[in-house]
Structure 1
Amino acid sequence: MLRQYELVERVKAYDPDADEAALNRAYVYTVQKHGSQKRASGDPYFSHPVEVAGLMTDLKLDQQTIITALLHDTVEDTLVTIEDIEENFGSEVARLVDGVTKLSKIEAMPENERAAENLRKFLLAMSEDIRVLLVKLGDRLHNMRTLHFIKSPEKRQRIARETMDIYAPLAERVGMYEYMREMQLLAFEQLEPEGYRTITGRLEQIRAQDGGQVDAIALEIKQALSAAGLQVEVSGREKHPYSIWRKMAERHVSFEQVTDIMAFRVITHDVDDCYRALGVLHRTWQFIPGRFKDYISTPKTNGYRSLHTALIYQNSMRVEVQVRTREMHRTNEFGLAAHWAYKQGNRPDGQVGWLRDLIEIVDASNDPEELLEHTRLAIYQDRIFAFTPKGALFQLPKGATAVDFAFAVHTDLGAQTVGAKINGRHMPLRTPLNNGDVVEIIKGKSAEPQLSWLGFVVTGKARASIRRAVRMKERAEIAALGQQLFDEIVAQMPAKIGKKAIREALARLELEDEEDLMIAIGSAKLPDREVMEALMPGSTAQLPEVEHRPRQERAVSIRGLTPGVAFTLAECCHPVPGDRIVGLRRPNETVEVHTIDCLELANGVDADWVDLQWGKRSQGAVGGIRVTLYDRTGTLAEMASIFAKGHANVVALSQTQTESPFVTYEVTADFTDLAHLTRTVSALRASDAVAQADRI
């Protein structure tokens, strides 16, 4: 553990103007407040924040960040408050500590909710100040280094999985590859112990048997470049064990079949020398087509810059080579932290634009599992580059589609997408993009995101935006259904209902506003009697219990027709008693009855219109509902049971579309009236098996 004077000396070595007294006070403060607390290793607890502060000095961060690292656990694990921190160390440190600290109430949440809420607060905090992320990554790295001291295998696995899913990708996104690799290695050891032992054991065997082969190849590369007049440094190493494991899993190959175990790094004087070195390497050894990447001309979103190539060495051995300048190397290993300079105000905001996408995802996510899913999608490393017609560059994950591209450009553009041109050709929206594609998005003013897009989009931002739009549309439709049902309920009341009665009903039902009431009614969460009782206590006492019986036959009469004139109910809109209706009369044909808002009428028809109404004793007609189910076992049975429980006899069922992970059916069934159909739609929408339900 770093001693107090050693920590201060480290900071003063790169920042002579640092406040030595403040650093000393913070060191003493954390030692005193953590007192006799112990870690799982048996070490004093304060050794952890001191070591995290040491990691921050390795990155040469400012004194506020060092003090934050020293204090980051005091609020969570001692009686210290944020107000205490602000009083003793100022508002800036207090804000940073608050950003890193996990609130105690989070610990009482279920596992997935705790992880999601923790991540939500963390993302919001680091969007305001990236130093929160840097301290948190240092905190997680040191915890991973001491993870083996925790006795519970389940707890070790949970921490390792969280590290692999969230913190290692975050380290990668800000370019801190040293942190990323060590986190992955330590998590890999816990999550796949057998795989870890096998690969590290094989690497040790190769190291023992190669007789200095890595050094020999590095020397030969350096000699070839020196002969061309280039002064370079060359180093070689075996590839990262977790990288090998992932490659084995992705390619479904054994360790022996992974040919590029060795990787070499060439450090040059300037950018021109990088490209000269690449030319020498490709002239000297055969390079492998498709493996060359130029991250100097087109850097990764985290600022990573380097040339990557793969060569065939002697005996068909494949080796990877990275070529970069010393400045690039420093930035590539430690990312944003490598050139953080708060005193000069040089905030590297250009490299953290992806944080804005993460914050959009936080706002759009509906529940903890959604947040974790979308965020994991968003923070993994981008793989392809695509351009707008004007040349703007966007980086997307491999497999991204035109819809992902549209949402990456702007959320509103994604929402209005109706088509796309890829390299000048009209292509389906689900077409995966390739490196260098030029994508032109065609939009429509009245367009809106489609639920089926979730079957092919891959970015967290697109998925979150689509789900939010679908939820908002469904919420509006449920509220409209609820209003219809509410009007029917009010019509049954013994007295007129005013605004005061509605306000009192909201209070009794513990609802915020009228929209919440309509949604609760429309989604079948509130039965009629409960709504009536809330509006007028005691009003249901004299009402008979409603007994639902399956209806055996339909009885439909229409007012507005000459007695004896035959009519049929149109199959395009399936009118049911309660709908506003109109008749179409053609010579020598029966009158065709449509709903007033039928799309067929909007298209224009060659027929006389007849104003019609339902007869007083009309009861029962066929109605149509389009239902989109999640394509998994049991959802069709769940849909059928909803119709059965609602006493809606299914007349016909047809599957109209299958687009993973959804399958769509059109169902025609007997309904008593419009209210009966509306309640069935509400019940369907309330089911976890149903993604979407609409009247046809």
Structure 2
Amino acid sequence: MTAPATQPEALLSRLAKHHPDADAAVVSRAFELVQARYEGREPEAVKHALDTAEVLARLRLDPSAVAASLTARAFIEGALPLEQVTEALGEDVARLLAGVQRLASIRWDRIEEEAAETLREMFLAMARDVRVVMIVLAMRVQRIRAIREETWSQEERQRYARETLDVFAPLANRLGIWQLKWELEDFALRELEADTYAEIKRLLAERRDERQAFIDQVVAVLEEKLAEEGIEASIKGRAKHIYSIYKKMQRKDLEFDQLYDLRAVRVITKRLQDCYGVLGLVHSTFVPIPSEFDDYVAKPKDNGYQSLHTAVIGPGGRPVEVQIRTEQMHQLSEFGVAAHWAYKEGGGGKGPQDKFMLLRQLMDWEREVSDPHQFIESLKTDIFEDQVYVFTPAGDVIDLPVGATPLDFAYRVHTMVGHRCRGAKINGRIVPLETGLKTGDRVEVLTHKEPQPSRDWMNPTLGFLKTASARSKVRAFFRKQGRGESIRFGKEMVERELARLDLAHATIEEIATALDYPTPDDLYAAVGYGDRNAHSVSSAALTLEREKAPPEPPRLPSTPPPPPTRQTASGLRIDGSDEVMGRRARCCSPVPGDDVVGFVTRGRGVVIHHRRCPNILGTPEPERLVEIDWGEDAGQRHAVEILVQANDRAGLMGELSKLVTAIGVNIQSARAESDRGKAASIRLSLDCRSADQVAQVIDRIGRHRDVLEVRRVGRR
């Protein structure tokens, strides 16, 4: 291992180049502190500190940030006390290190266990001074590079790499710091998929000379054409990184040889208008590949990234990707938020914060979300998940997590727009509020004059809202409506859920106590506020009902069933034997997951009934009953019938059918009777896999605004 330099000459040289008016002496003092703490005992620690600081110096951060990165590891490990740092390096460096220490100490794989208020304070500090997260990203880059030098177990290295890929690479991407993003992804892949990483690296190395010759040929052609047109620009090959190759092979199910954008060039122009001139020249020189053009100049990504992307058939009939951008766009793509954040000596200056939705969202949430746990839920769903980019009617770009709905869009535009939302249009067509958005959609929100949010919006199982931040805004609205109204509404929801369960033993007082609420009214209020889902109350009620049910009578002796003569139900076991065949009773139509019992017939095998089926409870031959275990059989479906009572109107049947099929359940048949347009009785015969799926269907249908009652019935 090479010994570290005695002075950070490279750092000081870079700082002098990019910050000629700044006093870089703070970096020299920081290096001296680190050297004094580690030299002679842990020389590698000094090298690692220099490597971390070099990452930030390449990103052109100011001397205070570079000094903080030099001392960060020593400070976090307790080798440098805060008072010494403040005295030697100043208040600005000390503030940065305090934020870095909080951020670096989090176990991201167990974020739910962290103190939520501490997490919120830390992320707000990050939003106020983005240098904090950039220092942590630089530390992460240095450590993932050198992870195999650590005395960690394979499991610890895997956890660190997974955390890098799940949290820190997306964070670098959201800040637009492309240089750090690809390093974090590539080195994480090296740990998580070592064989795949090595194979892609080998394939890249094998054909590097061939690819370079092809790129040189394309560059020569384009340079000649640009000179003829008088366009001043630089052209060079663009490296494709291993993780992006890996992801594209997975996403498109391609082999390495099928990837066309391994061959890529980048054209950097002086002026914006030249970008489109170069694009026209490229398309007139080579044959463009249909559907492989993206205009991120007119429609920038949420992190500010701008560029024209196209793919063409190059020399020899081989495809090549071409990126076209200005020098300013290139600086942003390379350095991200660092390209915008200007700092003066001793403190941070204000950068164009509006360009970075991540930072703006953090500040907005701090004002709008009162519960720290809700803030952390928002952070996990809205920041670290993949994004879609949609447009307002005015053409502004809004970024949202994949799976977000028009209602999420409305709340991202403005809280009151969300509260007043009554419908939405996507690309000019009216759509349900739970419709998923896709990149490029143009979204228009239809509004009431006054706020009229629905409590159903807070229920994640109904799919109205994907983002936790939007749900928290709805929750905050109803908290302001008063406890009495929330109790009334919550009681209505809970009673509707419990009515479907036909409880015989559990009481509402016991259910409230089991869920840690002093009284039923406290439980109702929590449901009305949206703090608890009514479905979770029914789940708790079922658990309590099973616990309070009287002991079952002694197991009945099992009787070997005779050979079945009719269609059988698989997955049936008696006394541990898997060789038992049986069939479902038509009177109660049980499915796997129901509480069932077997009835041994004369010559027809075992018939499976609900334990509470009237035919079982009233049987004159209890000796024929046997205990059975009926597990779910993969792929097998069972006929179940439900009865729906609803207000009749045109289109009702179609809406109910969509609700059922949306969760993967087939409708065998549907029979409806109408009372002259006033009420409708609908009997649906469904193909379901399990009792859980039946409950899910009943829950979905029961929430339809026109449905008065829905229950499971026996087959006729």
TM-score (norm 1): 0.66
Task: Name the SS of the counterpart of 2:304 in structure 1.
Answer: coil
8 A contact 2:49–2:73 mirrored in 1: yes
Structure 2: how far apart are the matches of 1:37 and 1:367? 42
CA contact (8 A) 1:374 1:460 kept: no
Question: CA separation in 2, counterparts of 1:287 and 1:324?
Answer: 18
Aligned to 1:566: none
The amino acid of 1:95's aligned partner reads R
Measured at CA, do residues 36 and 295 of structure 1 come closer, stay the same or move farther in structure 2, by a change above 3 Å? same
CA contact (8 A) 1:173 1:380 kept: no
The correspondence for 1:442, drawn from 427, 447, 457, is: 447
Residue type matched to 2:31 in 1? Y
* Number of residue-to-residue matches in the alignment: 533
SS in 2 for 1:126: helix
Q: Which moved more, 1:437-446 or 1:293-302?
A: 437-446
Counterpart among 352, 377, 387 of residue 356 in structure 2: 352
Residue of structure 2 equivalent to 1:4? 7
Distance in 2, matches of 1:385 and 1:205, equals: 41
Quick one: structure 1 residues 655 and 477, their matched pair in 2 at CA, closer, same or farther if it must change by over 3 Å? farther
Q: Distance in 2 between matches of 1:413 and 1:453?
A: 20
Query: Alpha-carbon deviation of 1:477?
Result: 8.3
- Identity among equivalent pairs (%): 31
Q: Note the C-alpha offset of 1:662.
A: 12
Q: Letter of the 2:183 partner, please give it.
A: E
Instruction: Tell me the secondary structure at the aligned position of residue 261 of structure 2.
Output: coil
**Corresponding residue of 1:268:** 269
The amino acid across from 2:356 in the alignment is V
| Structure 1 residues 26 and 691, CA gap change in structure 2 (3 angstroms) | farther
Q: Could you say which residue in structure 2 is the equivalent of 1:589?
A: none
Report the secondary structure of 1:72's partner residue. Answer: helix
Partner of 2:544: 642
1:394: Cα distance to partner?
2.0
Quickly say closer, same or farther: Cα 1:122–1:328, change in 2 above 3 A: same
Matches within 5 A, 1:296-335: 296-314=297-315, 316-335=317-336
Q: Is 1:361–1:465's contact at 8 Å kept on the other side of the alignment?
A: no
Q: Partner letter of residue 183 of structure 1?
A: L
- With over 3 angstroms needed to count, the CA separation of the structure-2 counterparts of 1:479 and 1:325, relative to structure 1, is closer
Asked if the contact 2:268/2:326 (under 8 Å) is kept, the reply is yes
- In the alignment, the residues of structure 2 paired with residue 18 and residue 268 of structure 1 have an alpha-carbon distance, to the nearest angstrom, of 30
Q: Matches of residues 93-492 of structure 1 in structure 2 within 5 Å?
A: 93-102=93-102, 113-114=113-114, 120=120, 122-150=122-150, 151-210=152-211, 212-314=213-315, 316-343=317-344, 345-358=349-362, 371=376, 374-375=379-380, 377-380=382-385, 382-388=387-393, 390-397=394-401, 399-434=403-438, 435-443=440-448, 445-449=451-455, 450-452=457-459, 456=463, 460-462=467-469, 465=472, 480=487
Q: Sort the Cα spacing of 1:176 and 1:349 in 2 relative to 1 into closer, same or farther, 3 A.
A: same
TM-score, structure 2 normalization: 0.64
* Structure 1 residues 57 and 361, CA gap change in structure 2 (3 angstroms): same
Question: Relative to structure 1, is the Cα distance of residues 660 and 135 closer, same or farther in structure 2, using a 3 angstrom cutoff?
Answer: farther
Task: Provide the residue aligned with 2:514 in structure 1.
Answer: 524
Is the 2:173–2:181 Cα contact (8 Å) retained in structure 1? yes
| Structure 1 residue 134, shift from structure 2 partner | 1.6
Aligned to 2:66: 66
**Aligned pair in 2 of structure 1 residues 361, 257: CA closer, same or farther (>3 Å)?**
farther
Quote how far apart the aligned CAs of 1:72 are.
Answer: 1.7
* Alignment of structure 1 residues 566-577 onto 2, 5 Å: none
Residue type matched to 1:384 in 2? Y
Contact 1:137 1:171 in 2 (8 A): yes
1:255 shift after superposition: 2.4
Could you tell me which amino acid in structure 2 is paired with residue 284 of structure 1?
T
In 2, the alpha carbon distance for the partners of 1:116 and 1:37 equals: 38
Alignment of 1:652-663 (within 5 A): none
Q: Comparing 109-118 with 416-425, which one deviates more in the overlay?
A: 109-118
Q: 1:20 to 1:222 in 2, by over 3 A?
A: closer
Question: Which amino acid counterpart does residue 185 of structure 2 have in structure 1?
Answer: Q
> Are the aligned partners of 1:169 and 1:180 in contact in 2 as well (CA < 8 Å)?
yes
Residue 27 in structure 1 maps to residue 31 in structure 2:
yes
One-letter identity of the residue aligned with 1:69: S
Q: Does the residue aligned with 1:102 lie in a helix, a strand or coil?
A: helix
Deviation at 1:628, TM superposition (A): 5.7
Confirm or deny that 1:15 pairs with 2:22.
no
Cα drift, residue 474 of structure 1: 13
- Structure 1 residues 473 and 172, CA gap change in structure 2 (3 angstroms): same
Deviations along 1:78-104, whole A, 9 cap, x unmatched?
253434433333322211111111389
Evaluate the alpha carbon distance shift between residue 291 and residue 97 of structure 1 in structure 2; reply closer, same or farther with a 3 A threshold.
same
Distance 1:456 1:17, change over 3 A: same
**Distance in 1, Cα, partners of 2:474 & 2:258:** 42
Would the alpha carbon gap of residues 361 and 375 (structure 1) be closer, same or farther in structure 2, given more than 3 Å must change?
Answer: farther
The answer for the alignment partner of 1:618 in structure 2 is: none
Cα distance in structure 1, aligned partners of 2:182 and 2:277: 29
Letter in 2 for 1:96: L
Equivalent residue letter for 2:227: S
Give 1:661 deviation, angstroms: 8.2
Structure 2 counterpart of 1:130, one-letter code: V
| Partner AA of 1:524 in structure 2 | A
Given that residues 8 and 31 in structure 2 are in contact (C-alpha distance below 8 angstroms), is that contact kept between their aligned partners in structure 1? no
Query: Which sits farther off after the overlay, 23-32 or 321-330?
Result: 23-32
Greater Cα offset, 320-329 or 76-85: 76-85
CA deviation map 1:196-235 (0-9, x unaligned):
1121122222224457222222222322333333232211
What do the CA deviations read for 1:602-629 (whole angstroms, capped 9, x no partner)? Answer: xxxxxxxxxxxxxxxxxxxxxxxx9964
1:293 Cα offset (Å)? 1.7
- The runs of 5 or more residues in structure 2 that have no matched partner are 492-507, 522-531, 551-610, 615-640, 645-658, 666-697, 710-716
The 3 A distance-change label for structure 1 pair 475 and 260 is farther
Aligned-residue offset at 1:20 = 4.5
- Give 1:452 shift: 4.5
Aligned 8 A contact 1:287 1:312 in 2? yes
User: By how many angstroms is 1:58 displaced?
Assistant: 1.8
Q: Confirm or deny: 8 A CA contact 1:375 1:460 kept in the other structure.
A: no
Structure 1 unaligned segments of length 5 or more: list them.
485-517, 532-577, 579-625, 664-689
Using a 3 Å threshold, how does the CA distance of structure 1 residues 179 and 525 change in structure 2: closer, same or farther?
closer
CA contact (8 A) 1:285 1:313 kept: yes
Q: Give a deviation string over 1:313-361, Cα, whole Å, max 9, x none.
A: 3455322111011222122101121243223935121222322324566
Q: Is the 8 A contact 1:305 1:324 kept in 2?
A: yes
Give 1:75's aligned residue: 75
Instruction: Give, in whole Å, the separation in 1 of the partners of 2:176 and 2:471.
Output: 25
Distance apart, 1:526 and its partner CA: 6.0
Separation of aligned partners in 2, 1:212 and 1:34: 48
Q: CA deviation at 1:410?
A: 2.1
CA distance in 1 between partners of 2:359 and 2:57 (Å) = 25
